[in-house]
Amino acid sequence: MLNEKDIISTLMMVREQNLDLRTVTVGINLTDCVSHDLETFKRKIYDKITRYAGQLVASCNRIERRYGIEVANKRISISPIGVVGAPFSSEQLVEVAVTLDKAAHELGVDFIGGFTALVEKGMSKGDQALIEAIPQALTETQRICSSVNVASTRAGINMDAILKMGQIIKQAAELTADDDGLAAAKLVVFANIPQDVPFMAGAYLGIGEADAVVSVGVSGPGVVKAALEKALAEDENMDLSRAADVIKQTAARLTRAGELVGREVAQLLNLPFGIVDLSLAPTPNRNDSVGEIFEAIGIPAFGAPGSTAFLSMLNDAVKKGGAFASSHVGGLSGAFIPVCEDLTIAESAANGTLSLEKLEAMTAVCSVGLDMVAIPGDTSAEMISAIIADEMAIGVINKKTTAARLIPAPGKKAGDIVRFGGLLGEGPVMAVNMGSHENRFVRLGGRIPAPIQSLVN
């Protein structure tokens, strides 16, 4: 039950820490737009998206004026194009991506997610065409994001798809070499992808979702950091149990505020409310960094010993606070650790405190995975696939979502800097052990079987 007085006090608090509502995302089901005729399909998806999301930006602006809290991003997620666009070739699907991009520009939204294929158990003709289209589609568009789910705890790991994605990521980066491989920064590979993620680049609307739905992504690493610092100042003998409670209570207040805003936007759009995704998603700015929370609790730098233990506590406390505050928590809901998007994490990677191997270990207890990681441009496609396979295995065995958003920066070597701008930020190129070598393991292909814990019926 939402307590409006508590929400108002929360909004007052978060304004002091410059909190924004990270995203309001309208999910739109495109299954009724399916057609074998390309022009008909493009017209139907453009019309439906602009009809359902036509007032999204205006509604968010209205809520901003009412509560004084910024909605940082207005976004759209759609049914996976690998499914609804199955009749078309890869060249035709690039045209579909351009149509989606045109709709995004027309509406003034930041991104459309859903240029997506779900291939954890095998690839259909439509999935194959979509995957082949990804490099060109992300090069020719500005506001399209793509995701490919290659593994799940129930199905195992599709190594054929992973081998292909290593090649696709290399191609996408090379096509945008002048922008440090920007296209690869809009592409993410998943295990156990949720159907209701409002955050990019993984957002898409699952087949089991409503015709249209409004979901919100609430962040707030700066608020959590401030709450911990305040609690430590008041009680210098505070232990970790108390620290977990502080994080949990703060997460609950943020979730309530986010749900209030989301429900009001949904009402203005005359659409059902979906979920709140409470994820500590940083930006490349001071006082909005997940890494700074680690420093506030006493860890000398992100990636130093103790980081994995604290991250597990942080992620768990955020989930518990969100679940307490709302009956409709979904998406990823936890802590993100994207290297280039977090100023403090990027600094740790640059000075050597954080290695790729340590980052991978930490992804076992965070909400996503190897996120916004720039790697040397000469890293082989097979080694990129091997890194993805390692990350997918963590998700499959632990029955959690994991992901890899890797950017092989053309012409860059370890220690160089890549710059993407905006929320994508900038950061160092991280070294990859034996990165330019071949990897015969991933070439074997096939499917790594689902683990024993998949047998839950």
Per-residue pLDDT at 285: 77
Closest CA to 218 of 312, 290, 294, 281: 281
Using DSSP's 3-state secondary structure scheme, residue 357 falls into: helix
Residue 276 near residue 323, CB atoms below 8 Å: no
User: How far is 235 from 7, CA to CA, in rounded Å?
Assistant: 26
Top-confidence residue, 97 or 63: 97
268-to-56, 103, 242 alpha-carbon distances in Å: 9, 21, 40
Residue found under tokens 């249209």: 212
Average pLDDT over residues 293-318: 95
Q: Are strands 23-28 and 74-78 parallel, antiparallel or unpaired?
A: parallel
Note the pLDDT of residue 51.
95
Mean of all residue pLDDT scores within the chain: 91
CA distance 257 to 325: 10
Does residue 371 surpass a pLDDT of 80?
yes
In this predicted structure, the answer to whether residue 218 has a pLDDT above a threshold of 60 is yes
What Å distances lie between residue 142 and 22, 46, 61, 181, 204, CA to CA? 19, 16, 23, 13, 17
Q: What is the DSSP letter of 437?
A: S
User: Over 90: is that where the pLDDT of 52 sits?
Assistant: yes
Q: In this predicted structure, what is the pLDDT of residue 3?
A: 56
pLDDT in tens, 277-286: 888 888 777 7
Q: CA 293, 388, 78, 152: dihedral to nearest 10 degrees?
A: -100
Between the ranges 112-116, 194-198, 328-332, where is the mean pLDDT highest?
Answer: 112-116
Please, which residues have CB within 8 angstroms of residue 214's CB and are 6 or more apart in sequence?
A: 24, 25, 26, 27, 262, 265, 266, 269, 271, 272, 273, 274
Model pTM score: 0.94
Higher pLDDT, 65 or 364: 364
Q: How high is the pLDDT of residue 119?
A: 97
Mean pLDDT of the 157-181 span: 97
Q: Which distant-in-sequence residues (6+ apart) come within 8 Å of 435 by Cβ?
A: 375, 376, 378, 379, 380, 383
* Matching residue, tokens 């930041």: 110
CA dist 301 and 391 (Å) reads: 23
* Residue 5, Cβ density class (10 Å: 0-12 exposed, 13-18 middle, ≥19 buried): exposed
User: Can you name the residues that pair with 277 across neighbouring β-strands?
Assistant: 217
In this model, does residue 7 exceed pLDDT 60?
Answer: no
Task: Confirm if 259 and 2 have CB atoms less than 8 A apart.
Answer: yes
Q: Give mean pLDDT, residues 34-57.
A: 96
Task: Let me know: does 418 contact 181? Beta carbons within 8 Å.
Answer: yes
pLDDT of residue 368: 87
Q: Tell me, what's the pLDDT at 19?
A: 66
Average pLDDT over residues 241-247: 94
C-alpha 364/C-alpha 386 separation (Å) is 17
Q: Sorting pLDDT into bands at 50, 70 and 90, what band is 10? A: low
Q: How far apart are CA 205 and CA 49, in angstroms?
A: 13
**Least confident interval from 125-129, 220-224, 225-229:** 220-224
Q: Which residues contact 309 (CB under 8 A, 6 or more apart)?
A: none
> What is the pLDDT averaged over residues 27-43?
96
Tell me how far apart the alpha carbons of residues 206 and 147 are, in angstroms, rounded to a whole number.
13
Cβ-count burial of 70 within 10 angstroms (0-12 exposed, 13-18 middle, 19+ buried)?
Answer: middle
In this prediction, residue 8 has a pLDDT band, given cuts at 50, 70 and 90, of low
Ordered domains of the chain (ranges, CATH): 1-337 (3.20.70.20)
- Exposed/middle/buried for 435, CB within 10 Å: 0-12, 13-18, 19+? buried
Q: Could you give the C-alpha distances from 378 to 112, 262, 384, in angstroms and in order?
A: 30, 44, 10
Query: Which band of pLDDT confidence, cut at 50, 70 and 90, is reported for residue 1?
Result: very low
State the pLDDT confidence band at 13, using cuts at 50, 70 and 90: low
In this predicted structure, the answer to whether residue 6 has a pLDDT above a threshold of 70 is no
Cβ contact 204:195 at 8 Å = yes
**Could you report the per-residue pLDDT of 326-353, keeping only the tens digit for each?**
888 888 888 888 999 999 999 999 999 9
